[in-house]
Structure 1
């Protein structure tokens, strides 16, 4: 057998790289479809009308025509030849039956796939894989709070999605750009399914969201349907991974030596997810969270008052400690009536969300912004 010439070897290497790029683009398509399907399920579940996936064989035949017509040939061929094509076809047909226009959606997914394919082809370096927690953090930093982000994190497929993100990142793909594009598709799915179900496309502002506007949520992006009564859901809504939540709780305990019971009261409080969210937001900005939390053991004015209100005072004290500059004197600043401060604040109610990164602002997302001076937390009712 003749030894391949340098030209033949180069051609073979190029073909292998091109094949890998196409397979990676197919992974991106799977990720976007998984996110879209998670949004569909979430919307239908809320309405109590979650549909079963359609017949796999029938879906494969019907969806293959849509895919061949609307996706680039190399990507559609790889997609149809994959072992998981029947499941993907079921997802596509479920989206179609739920009211999603595939002739609009699939070409946009094709654009994402082409971008990924070209990125992989042009990038030879490998990046270390990051864990699931890192990708929950990426969601928080890339996607605005709202139904799409919550649907992703509450989906049974979330661990698989996170693994896909890690692998795409390892191959040199800009995963955050994909997430931003997938968010747009998710919003479209959410609205299309809501329309079919005759449900409200924009969630009404929940009582928890209304009560949280003020110093506790200044500059934080919180969902309008925030549900602090369901801690697991609240943490998902705020994109706080379970491992992150445990780490933040441990940071509080370490910051309050000798006050173990009080630390547990803070972590167990109803508003703890908002405190954890501020800690996560500070970490993303490179701020020293542990140094801020150290104030809780230096200024123990939160001990003053009825024991029954200790948890509430601790939440206010923790928020105050996190918001004050590290160098500010301990115990400085006048104590104010929070209700009065909120009533005069220009940011009492929800405002339009500002997009994070490349992700667009969407209905159903409320970002709290405060234009005037920040009121210092103190003892309140």
Structure 2
């Protein structure tokens, strides 16, 4: 028997690390799919369905995996300490209506992509940033049920830790997330179908009323719930730490008037302001110089005290949207006021005889916003 060489041992260690990292990627995808399943069942059925017994799930899941994945990944997965838990997640997805014959091959492709990427990148690459995974989710995944399910899941800290470990091993976490998002959408639709929910979600009243200047260019979920600020911030992928930091930036921009900003922070539309500031920061646009305009144009002071929060929301949005160097005076816009109002009735334009019907309008935030990032693993 040949004596192992240092080079051979290093190669074996590298190959093992690649396979174990692939298993991490599988664990991440399954955790996201399971979070979506749980979220859908809580939302539509009022409670999550119990996981199948571990012993039975291990046997059934092993049979489902047979001949679908490469032997090294399959062996590492089924030999891991948390395989019984992953087997339960898989079988729970099947019971919820997910076609594993369709899901598993695609998850296997993700695992192979990750394994090969790590094998080609033995040297670890130093991680950039400070682990702000919620910001990465906002920038990578479009608003919707998958992103909210991830952030509202009790296992979110574990998911974030897994993303950090993948990143440390040189894996493109954004690419894995984009692929996992597509699988999560499939899970969401499959579970919704079993629960007799509509395949196409209806647009919430809050989302419809928010269309206009407050949401131009923002990524707004169709089921936006502004009545619950914590949920709205979660839907927009704004962490509690980010929310507190944005509140502090506003207060710092209003020296001597800090307490007057408080009504804005409890206003229904405040989450939309935080989403705009987060978007500006992700694009490299400084927020502070824009917020300074709040003290240069204090027209928001005029009006009933009860409406101060709403006036500040509009003034802050105007300050953030206007390019630096533009005038600070905000001109009243009848059209904008009509869009912002929840009770205004759209005026019917006077059409001359023989005039062609007007083209249907497009929601401002849909027209101006960049296309959501989506993708499949190579």
Q: One fold, TM greater than 0.5?
A: yes
What displacement does 1:351 show? 5.0
Aligned to 1:358: 374
Tell me if the contact between 2:226 and 2:269 (Cα under 8 Å) persists in the aligned partners: yes
Offset of residue 129 of structure 1: 6.7
- SS of the residue corresponding to residue 159 of structure 1 reads helix
Residue 316 of structure 2 aligns to a residue whose secondary structure is: helix
* Cα distance per residue 1:32-60 (max 9 Å; x no partner): 00000000001111112420111011101
Unaligned runs of 5+ in 2: 341-345, 348-359
In 1, distance between residues paired with 2:266 and 2:259?
10
Q: Does 1:242 align with 2:257?
A: no
Distance in 1 between residues matched to 2:363 and 2:125, nearest whole Å: 47
CA RMSD of aligned residues (A): 2.0
The 2-side partners of 1:359 and 1:272 are apart by 31
Per the TM alignment, residue 167 of structure 1 is displaced from its structure 2 partner at its CA by 1.0
Alignment gaps of 5+ in structure 1? 361-381
> Matched residues in 2 for 1:101 and 1:238: separation?
30
Give the match for residue 19 of structure 1.
Answer: 16
1:81-230 superposed matches below 5 A: 81-123=79-121, 124-128=123-127, 131=130, 134-230=132-228
Cα distance, 1:75–1:355 mapped onto 2, change above 3 Å: farther
Distance 1:116 1:13 in 2: 19
Count of residues in correspondence between the two structures: 354
1:270 to partner: Cα distance: 1.2
Task: Give CA-to-partner distance per residue, 1:333-378, whole Å, 9 cap, x none.
Answer: 5211224467589334885996423349xxxxxxxxxxxxxxxxxx
2: CA distance, partners of 1:103 / 1:127: 37
> Deviation at 1:247?
1.0
Look up the match of 2:249: 251
Provide the TM-score with structure 1 as the length reference. Answer: 0.89
Once the two structures are superposed, residues 276-334 of structure 1 have per-residue CA deviations (whole angstroms, 9 ceiling, x without a partner) of 00000000100011111111122111001111111110000000000001111222x52
Q: Deviations over 1:173-205 (max 9, x none)?
A: 000000110011000000100111101122211
Q: Distance in 2 between matches of 1:113 and 1:188?
A: 18
The answer to whether residue 345 in structure 2 is matched with residue 346 in structure 1 is no
**1:137 to partner: Cα distance:** 0.7
* Equivalent position of 1:335 in the other structure: 332
Secondary structure, aligned partner of 2:66: helix
* Distance (whole Å) between structure 2 residues aligned to residue 188 and residue 354 of structure 1: 23
TM-score w.r.t. structure 2 length? Answer: 0.89
CA distance, structure 2, for counterparts of residue 314 and residue 351 of structure 1:
24
Q: 1:85 to 1:168 in 2, by over 3 A?
A: same
Q: Which residue of 2 aligns with 1:315?
A: 313
TM-superposed CA distance for 1:126, in Å, is 2.4
Match of residue 75, structure 1, among 65, 73, 76: 73
